[in-house]
Amino acid sequence: MKYTIDRFEGEFAVVELESGKFADIPREAIPEAAHEGDIISVSIDSSATKNAKKDIRKLEDSLWAD
């Protein structure tokens, strides 16, 4: 998904979605170097998700181990 930064309002970046609708995203979630008119991309990192799930499973297993 790609969003265009329309403007900044206080602690939020107002972004235009691909659908043409607008949404507020906390400014802290946007790269510091981002400016109005910049396009940001959001994607799922499947590899990182898989690794995180594996780490959680290991932690759970260690909690229930005798």
CATH of the domain at 34: 2.30.30
**What is the number of domains present in the chain?**
1
> Using one digit for the tens of pLDDT, what is the confidence trace for 13-37?
999 999 999 999 999 999 999 999 9
- Strands 22-26 and 12-16 turn out to be antiparallel
For the question of whether the overall pTM of this predicted structure is more than 0.85, the answer is no
CA atoms within 13 A on the CB side of 65: 7
Name the average pLDDT for the chain.
Answer: 95
Under 8 Å CB-to-CB from 42, ≥6 apart: which residues?
Answer: 1, 2, 3
Bridge partner list, 5: 15
- Host domain of residue 60: 2-64
Of 24, 26, 30, 23, nearest to 11 by C-alpha is 26
pLDDT at 66 (0 to 100):
63
Instruction: Report the percentage of the chain scoring pLDDT > 70.
Output: 98
